[in-house]
Amino acid sequence: MFEKITISQEQADEIERTIKINTFTDSYLEGGTVDKFEAEKLLNTKDYEEEKRLSKEREIFLDNFSIEEILEVFLKDSTFTINKDGHVEILHPGKLEIPKEYGFKGGAARSVLREALGLKVIPPRDVDVIRLSAEEPHVGSDIEIAKKYMAQDFEFGDGVEFVDSTVDYFNTRDFTINELYTTGSEIVATEKCIRDTIRNIVRITEYERMSYSGIGEMGPKMKAKTLRLHAEQMYALGVSSIPEESINEIEKSFITPFWLAVQLDRAFERNAEIAEQFTKLLIENSIVPEYIKDSRDLGEYLLLEVYSFKFRNAPYLQYEIEEQHDKDDSIQTDSDILENYYDAIHHGTKY
């Protein structure tokens, strides 16, 4: 019998979101593709440690220059201006065409910015759309745009985000590298976003800290997401860093298993190597039990800890019994086999 647990509304919403994603994507996963990064270009351990040291020196070094001086060097094929709010506007046509009233945020926008700055591009995991005009170009255009660019998210309730004020928008992001958006013709970003993008820094914003605790602490969701983004950048770019104050908060802290499961699944959505890197970071920071050695161990542990969670992007964690059935030398009745199979696929539901 499983012990009753109490979950927050945020966790309940995320569980509902995950279930809806699973329902929508079950029939599409076979045909889907996920861009993989070039593992052979990863830095070896010695070079990685040297790159971390140099990264800190670059941060100090770049502080000596204005954002204008930095962009003059980094923007080879684009022009820029600083608007009245202090935000950087870069003229740079995106590869995804979209009506002028709309734009992209999150990973899609980060990819466009990195390309404009001449940095190695990390393909977006998904696409999120915003609307910058006060009204839709025509009735129903938000739905049309959502179905076209973010069909999966739209199916489980997410749609186009309306941006009433760019200042408010930038002031309410979770990470500094997300303080940006891009349209079909330009990128708009904060100075902090550009500096941390160049430095490959995963830095949580003060807004996100205050939203969680009111006293500036990192919440478990952001701790897990920080490590997952860090793992992605380490894999894709060969180097990434997290500010020292964030590392101190993350190390040996308790992160709710639910948020670890969500971020592990998103790491698997990239590929298994990133899931392994994410798991390694959890082990190095003493966040998970000592017996966990790899992403499979982590997934199995989380399935025991999180009621009815389904890994959408790591199906072997759910269907291992199917693969191992013929190799099982133990004497089990058909009833026992099916009972175990049910437990693996629908963990905890029959209780």
Residue 30 to residues 23, 312, 341, Cα–Cα distance (Å):
14, 12, 22
User: Is there a domain that residue 207 lies in?
Assistant: no
Q: Which pLDDT belongs to residue 200?
A: 92
Q: In the prediction, which pLDDT does 347 show?
A: 39
Establish if 351 belongs to a structural domain: no
Same domain, 24 and 124: no
Do 60 and 15 have their domain in common?
yes
**Half-sphere exposure (CA, 13 Å, Cβ side) for 38?**
6
Residue 208 within any structural domain of the chain? no
Q: What was the pLDDT predicted at 157?
A: 67
Q: Are 182 and 300 members of one domain?
A: no
Same domain, 16 and 109: no
Contact 66, 88 (CB under 8 A): no
| Residue 171 located in a structural domain | yes
Neighbours of 293 (CB within 10 A): 11
H helices of the chain, where? 9-25, 45-62, 67-74, 106-116, 141-149, 151-155, 166-170, 191-199, 206-213, 220-237, 244-250, 257-270, 272-284, 295-305, 316-324, 334-345
Answer yes or no: do 85 and 183 share one domain.
yes
Is a pLDDT exceeding 80 seen at residue 318? Answer: no
- Pairing mode of beta strands 128-131, 161-162: parallel
The verdict on 244 and 335 lying in the same domain is no
Q: Which two tokens stand for residue 119?
A: 């940095």
Structure token digits, residue 317 = 């964690």
Is 189 within a domain? yes
129, part of any domain = yes
341 shares a domain with 307: no
Range of the domain at 159: 66-199
Residues composing the chain: 351
| Out of 16-25, 89-98, 218-227, least confident range | 16-25
Shared domain for 74 and 186, answered yes or no, is yes
β-pair type (79-82, 102-105): unpaired
pTM surpassing 0.95?
A: no
| Segment 158-199, tens digit of pLDDT | 788 999 999 999 999 999 999 999 998 999 999 999 999 999
Judgement on whether residues 76 and 187 belong to the same structural domain of the protein: yes
Examine the domain organization and report whether 78 and 166 are in the same domain: yes
Whole-angstrom CA distances from 82 to 73, 90, 142, 274, 290 are 16, 9, 29, 36, 50
Residue partners of 63: CB distance under 8 A and separation at least 6? none
Residue 175's SS3 state is strand
What is the pLDDT at residue 331? 58
Helical pair 257-270 and 220-237, crossing angle rounded to 10 deg: 20
Determine, yes or no, domain membership for 243.
Answer: yes
Total domains in the chain come to: 3
Which whole number is the average pLDDT over 54-82? 83
Place of tokens 């759910």: 318
Give a yes or no: residue 205 inside a domain.
no
pLDDT at 47: 59
- Distance, CA of 238 to CA of 328 (rounded, Å): 41
Task: Identify whether the C-beta of residue 116 lies closer than 8 Å to the C-beta of residue 92.
Answer: yes
